């Protein structure tokens, strides 16, 4: 039996989602049971990278969310309306929901989840925060037994890209923003990103999962990065900090009543010590650092936006729902938790590994040694990236070589030849270089 999807929106993420589903080879076998039944778009005639039949494509989005054949509605329209109304109508028709829409969830999550609970359907939102980074499911499941102390992260790629360039180029905000817009890294209207609103939506969602309570978006204190200057970044650097737009949700003991914990929830530019794990997250990447008891700290890092990464999160949610639906109708172990394969993977032998090698030789300090080493490496197709003789150790010349990429088999053959050279006393270290 196939699980039928109604896809709302065929933009960047919708296209990425369709591409994963239509190209299932090498992915989880359950994907083969997922079918894109209908696709809602604004314009039927627009040329697209993925083609659908005239029966599948429609501009009538309402007809998708009420279609009795559809099991899961995948909302990838973005924006507040009609996304909110379509999600609510789909729920009232018993559809499960997968969405990437952080704005709708952070503002209307209360009515959406109330409706979903009443109807017994799921609303999944892995793609709403951190693009392709799995963080929603870990918060719900893998980290669920922890008492979470804090969730903090860099969850807006646009501002992190701008701050990273300001830092590396010593440039001012306005210049980098204009260039980022020209290159397509920042929207023509950058307000949601640079004023911290997008990060506020996302931290509200993360905090609500981490601390098991609803968050009113207006309670999230929000400052953006417009006021950050090249001078601030340079002074911060001198003092040992990087400036990052952090979204933070933290359990905070009440000063009046120590028995009551309250949440501090905020988005603002922050001086982060250079040694802190979030200080080295650069460019459009996102990272979320979660601290819990008894786990301690765990950090999730990866691409926070983009067609493929965000679609990966969308389709993982689709798969989760399909697996639940399957176990409801078939007496089988849960397809995502049970072992789905019996065959053994083909493993490449080590001699076929292609890598760089670091090697340290101890040799007699005689003329021609380095030349002989180079000749032996060359005899086996090993090209050298660097070769240095820094000094002597116990009256022996110490020569260090780093190769270019080479097959391990060729490298070992070269080493066997080198071991036979009269001048070579020993080869104390051979290490692979990443
Ligand atoms: N505009 C967001 C960002 C990506 O810059 O991170 C989508 O959530």
Q: Identify the CATH number of the domain in which residue 152 sits.
A: 3.30.360.10
In a domain? residue 104: yes
Q: Tell me, yes or no, whether 11 and 118 share the same domain.
A: yes
Residue 10: CA count within 13 A, CB half-sphere: 25
pLDDT in tens, 177-195: 999 999 999 999 999 999 9
pLDDT in tens, 53-94: 999 999 999 999 999 999 999 999 999 999 999 999 999 999
140 is catalytic: no
Q: Which atom of ligand 1 is nearest to the CA of 157?
A: 6
Cα–Cα distance measured from residue 100 to residue 78, given in angstroms and rounded to the nearest whole number: 7
Cα–Cα distance measured from residue 269 to residue 222, given in angstroms and rounded to the nearest whole number: 10
Q: Across residues 300-305, what is the average pLDDT?
A: 97
**Ligand 1 surroundings by CB, under 6 angstroms:** 156-158, 193, 198, 304-305
Quick one: pLDDT at residue 391? 84
In a domain? residue 250: yes
Q: Which atom of ligand 1 is nearest to the CA of 199?
A: 6
Q: Tell me, yes or no, whether 153 and 276 share the same domain.
A: yes
Quick one: pLDDT at residue 1? 72
Q: Tell me, yes or no, whether 214 and 311 share the same domain.
A: no
Helix 197-210 / helix 102-119 crossing angle, nearest 10 deg: 30
- pLDDT band per the 50, 70, 90 thresholds, residue 340: confident
Alpha helices in 120-244 (DSSP H): 136-140, 157-169, 173-183, 191-194, 197-210, 230-239
Neighbours of 287 (CB within 10 A): 22
Q: Across residues 312-320, what is the average pLDDT?
A: 98
Tell me which residue of 108, 101, 91, 161 sits closest to 126, measured CA to CA: 101
Answer yes or no: is pLDDT of 97 > 80: yes
Q: Which of 102, 202, 244, 250 is catalytic?
A: 202
Q: Tell me, yes or no, whether 282 and 419 share the same domain.
A: no
pLDDT in tens, 383-409: 999 999 988 888 899 999 999 999 999
Q: Tell me, yes or no, whether 313 and 391 share the same domain.
A: no
Phi, psi of 322 (to 5 degrees): -60, -40
pLDDT in tens, 224-269: 999 999 999 999 999 999 999 999 999 997 666 655 679 999 999 9
Task: Give 193 Cα–ligand 1 centroid separation in angstroms.
Answer: 7
Q: Which atom of ligand 1 is nearest to the CA of 192?
A: 1
Cα–Cα distance measured from residue 126 to residue 359, given in angstroms and rounded to the nearest whole number: 45
Q: Tell me, yes or no, whether 321 and 385 share the same domain.
A: no
Residue located nearest, by CA, to atom 8 of ligand 1: 305
Chain-wide mean pLDDT for the chain?
96
Q: Tell me, yes or no, whether 298 and 154 share the same domain.
A: yes
Residue located nearest, by CA, to atom 7 of ligand 1: 305
Task: Give 113 Cα–ligand 1 centroid separation in angstroms.
Answer: 24
Q: Tell me, yes or no, whether 141 and 124 share the same domain.
A: no
From 267, 302, 337, the end of a domain falls on 302
Q: Tell me, yes or no, whether 267 and 322 share the same domain.
A: no
pLDDT in tens, 17-33: 999 999 999 999 999 99
Ligand 1 mutation target, pool 189, 304, 307, most atoms within 8 A of CB: 304
Quick one: pLDDT at residue 393? 85
Domain carrying residue 419: 351-433
Task: Give 161 Cα–ligand 1 centroid separation in angstroms.
Answer: 11
In a domain? residue 362: yes
In a domain? residue 337: no
CATH of the domain at 34: 3.40.50.720
In a domain? residue 345: no
The DSSP element (H or E) to which 117 belongs, if any, is helix 102-119
Ligand 1 mutation target, pool 133, 135, 156, 199, most atoms within 8 A of CB: 156
Cα–Cα distance measured from residue 249 to residue 215, given in angstroms and rounded to the nearest whole number: 11
pLDDT in tens, 362-371: 999 999 999 9
In a domain? residue 80: yes
CATH of the domain at 395: 3.30.70.260
Q: Tell me, yes or no, whether 146 and 94 share the same domain.
A: no
Cα–Cα distance measured from residue 1 to residue 7, given in angstroms and rounded to the nearest whole number: 19
Quick one: pLDDT at residue 259? 56
Ligand 1 mutation target, pool 165, 198, 224, 288, most atoms within 8 A of CB: 198
Task: Give 304 Cα–ligand 1 centroid separation in angstroms.
Answer: 7
Give 272's contacts (C-beta < 8 A, 6+ positions apart).
Answer: 241, 242, 243, 244, 246, 278, 279
Cα–Cα distance measured from residue 374 to residue 98, given in angstroms and rounded to the nearest whole number: 59
In a domain? residue 338: no
Q: Tell me, yes or no, whether 146 and 259 share the same domain.
A: yes
Q: Tell me, yes or no, whether 321 and 362 share the same domain.
A: no
Name the domain count of the chain.
3
């Amino acid at each position: 039996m196939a699980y039928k999807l109604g896809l709302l929106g065929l933009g960047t993420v919708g296209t990425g989602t369709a591409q994963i589903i239509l190209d299932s080879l090498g992915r989880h076998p359950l994907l083969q049971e997922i079918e894109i039944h209908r696709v809602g778009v604004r314009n039927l005639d627009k040329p697209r990278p993925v083609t659908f039949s005239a029966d599948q494509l429609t501009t009538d989005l309402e007809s998708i969310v009420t279609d009795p054949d559809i099991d899961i509605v995948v909302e990838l329209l973005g924006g507040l309306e009609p996304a909110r109304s379509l999600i609510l109508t789909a729920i009232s028709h018993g559809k499960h929901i997968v969405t990437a829409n952080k704005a709708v969830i952070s503002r209307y999550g209360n009515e959406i989840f109330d409706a979903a609970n009443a109807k017994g359907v799921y609303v999944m939102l892995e793609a709403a925060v951190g693009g392709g980074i799995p963080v929603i499911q870990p918060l719900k499941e893998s980290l669920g037994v922890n008492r979470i102390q804090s969730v903090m992260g860099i969850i807006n790629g646009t501002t992190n890209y701008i701050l990273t360039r300001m830092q590396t180029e010593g440039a001012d905000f306005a210049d980098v923003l204009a260039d980022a817009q020209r290159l397509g890294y920042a929207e023509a209207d950058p307000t949601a990103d640079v004023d911290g609103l997008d990060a506020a939506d996302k931290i509200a969602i993360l905090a609500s999962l981490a601390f098991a309570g609803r968050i009113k978006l207006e309670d999230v204190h929000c400052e953006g990065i417009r006021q950050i200057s090249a001078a601030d970044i340079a002074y911060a650097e001198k003092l040992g900090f990087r400036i990052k737009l952090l979204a933070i949700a933290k359990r905070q003991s009440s000063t009046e009543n120590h028995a009551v914990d309250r949440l501090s929830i905020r988005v603002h530019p922050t001086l982060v010590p250079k040694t802190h794990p979030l200080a080295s997250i650069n460019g459009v990447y996102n990272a979320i650092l979660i601290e819990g008891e008894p786990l301690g700290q765990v950090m999730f890092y990866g691409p926070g936006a983009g067609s493929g990464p965000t679609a990966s999160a969308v389709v993982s949610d689709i798969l989760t729902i399909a697996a639940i639906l399957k176990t409801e109708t078939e007496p089988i172990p849960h397809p995502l938790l049970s072992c789905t394969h019996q065959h053994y993977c083909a493993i490449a032998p080590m001699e076929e590994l292609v890598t760089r090698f670091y090697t340290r030789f101890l040799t007699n300090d005689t003329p021609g040694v380095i030349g002989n080493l180079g000749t032996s490496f060359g005899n086996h197709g090993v090209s050298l990236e660097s070769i240095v003789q820094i000094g002597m150790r116990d009256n022996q010349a110490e020569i260090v070589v780093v190769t270019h990429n080479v097959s391990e088999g060729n490298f070992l053959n070269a080493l066997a030849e080198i071991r036979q050279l009269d001048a070579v006393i020993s080869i104390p270290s051979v290490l692979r270089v990443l």
